[in-house]
Structure 1
Amino acid sequence: MKTNVISLLVAGTIACASQQANAFSQETHKRIVIDAVNYMQQNPSSTEYAKLSAWASQLNLSVAQLANLLGQAAYDVDDFEDTFFCGAITGSCVQAPIWGAAESIVKYTSYWHFQNHTQGPDQHGNDFGGYNYQKLTVWGDIDNLAATWLKGDYLDDGRGGETGWFGSDSSKYNSYGITEANYRIDGHSHYNMYDDFEEMPFQPIDHLGQYWYQKFIESKNPQILGFVFHTTDLLQPHHTWVTSALNHSGWESWVKDYYDKEQLNDFSKVTQALEYYSALDANQQDIRPILTQGGALSYSQGGIVLNSKDHYDRVNTGQVVIPHAIAMVVHLLNHAVVQL
């Protein structure tokens, strides 16, 4: 397949420019992916770098250009316009709260970016669920603000029948019939799960990754593969302890600011981190086991950065979770390029 840099809209999902984020910062997501490609380039004998390089050539790209494309796609996932909540009374459907930018809740799509390691199986039958305000074991002001602001608000179901008072409804996007359905993998849902925000059991981020990985297998499109790499949110402890508060935004800004200053991407630590993961079987296409391994690692580290702003506490955590995020992407890239 020969093509130039590809930009596409998939399943009605639109990415648009934003400088805010509510996971690892978008810049950090991009750096993690680029560092994973650089690591493979520096370690061709222990990775599938030769296949990655050959793929770049088929795409008429340099390896550096391919890394940038993949990283940009990982960045873009925070900007998806695929999740709208509608007012319980007004029926007005929006993709973000008006106060969101100030509190790092820029788009509601971010609620699909969690994997709850503090709870057991969820209502969908997943081993680990996603964000669910009713099931949080740690939470703070932003979680409470969202649940209060959105109390009774419902997930946009297109023309599915849910409305505000007197039948009012300004549906913008069938988030239940498209987004939730896409991420409903090997599980079950019914719409009543999503008619009150404060009780919504969002699908976990490993399902987001699996959905886009399967789309990559079908299309061999590098941008779609880049979407998969947003799952490095699983190495962000707030996303496995599950809270929008408790120093969430401050920690992510710190990681961006000190990524290079504290050498959080130390490749010697990436080499060690690679050993933590069980390599994916080339004949299997379910990548969720390795994603969950990453989530378990961040959960084991997470209490510190949820409760401390101390620089050296953050250094100690960052020097574990960032190398593991890079290592997880290396494993995913190794698996992806042998599927081509």
Structure 2
Amino acid sequence: MKHYLLSAALLFTAGHSAAFSQETHKRIVIDAVNYMAKNPTTTRYAKLQAYAQANGMSVSELANVLGQAAFDVDDFEDTFFCGSITGDCVQAPLWGAAESIVKYTSYWHFQNHTQGADTHGNDFGGYNYQKLTVWGTVDNMAATWLKGDYLDDGHGGETGWFNADDSEYNSYGVTEKNYRIDSHSTYSMYDDFEEMPFQPIDNLGQYWYQSYVESGNPQVLGFVFHTTDLLQPHHTWTTSDLNHSGWESWVKDYYDQESLNDFSLVKQAMTSFSAVDTHSTDIRPLLTQGGAFSYSQGGIVLNSKDHYDRVNTAKQVIPHAIAMVVHLLNHAMDVR
């Protein structure tokens, strides 16, 4: 199995999503760019045009690149768990395709608003089975399947019985380290899945944003926009179950039919965010605002499949997701 480096080991493959559907992630980003085009006086659209031109693209081509990169984050091959006995390391459970845990990288895509600070020192932690306050069969199945399994820390690190070691990628030394921003970790935190305190998605976003500031790379900037998962209530209430995949499929299916990207709602949502200071490159306060919104407004979709309940929630969280990307794009254009 091959892995390519782009500030972290990544490989993009066709797959499913354990977040907003990948198609929805892409649509949100494209809609954010379209919103800027329709509101050039209140956004940094002129700078966005210049950025696209500097990268040899039209604005629509740039929107597609940014959206595709947001889509691709669910396909990162950067997180492997290893069997506590066999030492065999894999990136997904055999049963994952049926249960929306297609790749273990998705465990970095949460920000738990049902808990406070985590053991790393983050203001809100990420997925941690031991600290879930809402959960379901999929969460329990994963914790049972992976009981005692450890995060791959490279050849010569943790092993199975009799020093069995089939390391595929140093997920602790690269992926976790990248997302450890302003926090601390020890490997003992990651030697049993059922107790692992995964880094939250705002740290993922910050890592890629800082990489964008340093490189100016449009694809890297697009990776940041996967943080619209913070507007998906399951990612702030924190569970892999409770209608998680069903809700995400519904959003994808009704995105256009229910006009979930209504720009009048996006305009209202813009005012609910406090923009990132132009003198700062720390976008995590803005991301946490998005997470706080979905946590406070979207909990009903964990327990209800009613179409009206889903429309009501989606017409809040999708416009806020688009607005959050607009704010991020505005800031990204100012810091370049």
Q: Same fold (TM over 0.5)?
A: yes
Of the three residues 47, 65, 68, the one matched with 1:69 is 65
Q: What is the aligned partner in structure 1 of residue 104 from structure 2?
A: 108
Offset at 1:60? 1.2
Distance (whole Å) between structure 1 residues aligned to residue 89 and residue 221 of structure 2: 30
Distance (whole Å) between structure 1 residues aligned to residue 36 and residue 20 of structure 2: 22
What are the residue-to-residue correspondences of 1:19-98 with 2, within 5 Å? 19-98=15-94
SS of the counterpart of 1:171?
coil
Alpha-carbon contact 2:15-2:75 (below 8 Å) kept? no
Of the three residues 191, 212, 236, the one matched with 2:232 is 236
Q: What is the aligned partner in structure 2 of residue 117 from structure 1?
A: 113
Offset at 1:13? 2.0
Q: Which 4+ residue blocks in structure 1 deviate beyond 3 angstroms?
A: none
Distance (whole Å) between structure 2 residues aligned to residue 150 and residue 115 of structure 1: 21
SS of the counterpart of 1:118?
coil
Q: What is the aligned partner in structure 2 of residue 264 from structure 1?
A: 260
1:135-191 superposed Cα distances (whole Å, 9 cap, x missing partner): 000000000000000000000000252100110010000000000000001111000
Distance (whole Å) between structure 1 residues aligned to residue 100 and residue 155 of structure 2: 30
Offset at 1:31? 0.2
1:183-205 superposed Cα distances (whole Å, 9 cap, x missing partner): 00111100000000000000000
The one-letter code matched in structure 2 to 1:271 is: K
SS of the counterpart of 1:276?
coil
Q: Does 1:255 align with 2:255?
A: no
Distance (whole Å) between structure 2 residues aligned to residue 77 and residue 251 of structure 1: 20
Q: Does 1:185 align with 2:177?
A: no
Q: What is the aligned partner in structure 2 of residue 17 from structure 1?
A: 13
Q: What is the aligned partner in structure 2 of residue 222 from structure 1?
A: 218
The one-letter code matched in structure 1 to 2:57 is: L
Offset at 1:12? 4.0
SS of the counterpart of 1:65?
helix
Q: Does 1:326 align with 2:336?
A: no
Distance (whole Å) between structure 2 residues aligned to residue 122 and residue 332 of structure 1: 26
Alpha-carbon contact 1:241-1:302 (below 8 Å) kept? no
Q: Does 1:144 align with 2:140?
A: yes
SS of the counterpart of 1:328?
helix
What are the residue-to-residue correspondences of 1:289-308 with 2, within 5 Å? 289-308=285-304
Distance (whole Å) between structure 2 residues aligned to residue 233 and residue 13 of structure 1: 21
Distance (whole Å) between structure 2 residues aligned to residue 218 and residue 292 of structure 1: 23
Superposition RMSD in Å: 0.8
- The worse-fitting range, judged by mean Cα deviation, of 299-308 and 63-72 is 299-308
1:8-47 superposed Cα distances (whole Å, 9 cap, x missing partner): 8413422322231110000000000000000000000000
TM-score, length basis structure 2: 0.98
The one-letter code matched in structure 2 to 1:290 is: L
Q: What is the aligned partner in structure 2 of residue 5 from structure 1?
A: none
Q: Which sections of structure 2, spanning at least 5 residues, go unmatched?
A: none
Q: Does 1:127 align with 2:134?
A: no
Distance (whole Å) between structure 1 residues aligned to residue 92 and residue 7 of structure 2: 20
SS of the counterpart of 1:260?
coil
The one-letter code matched in structure 1 to 2:289 is: Q
Alpha-carbon contact 2:110-2:200 (below 8 Å) kept? yes
1:30-85 superposed Cα distances (whole Å, 9 cap, x missing partner): 00000000000000000000000011111110100000000000000000000000
Q: Which sections of structure 1, spanning at least 5 residues, go unmatched?
A: 1-7
The one-letter code matched in structure 2 to 1:139 is: W
TM-score, length basis structure 1: 0.97
Distance (whole Å) between structure 2 residues aligned to residue 165 and residue 97 of structure 1: 20
1:215-245 superposed Cα distances (whole Å, 9 cap, x missing partner): 0000000000000000000000000000000
Q: Does 1:313 align with 2:309?
A: yes
Alpha-carbon contact 1:15-1:77 (below 8 Å) kept? no
Offset at 1:338? 1.1
Distance (whole Å) between structure 1 residues aligned to residue 258 and residue 274 of structure 2: 28
SS of the counterpart of 1:320?
helix
- The worse-fitting range, judged by mean Cα deviation, of 158-167 and 292-301 is 158-167
Offset at 1:339? 1.4
Distance (whole Å) between structure 2 residues aligned to residue 204 and residue 261 of structure 1: 32
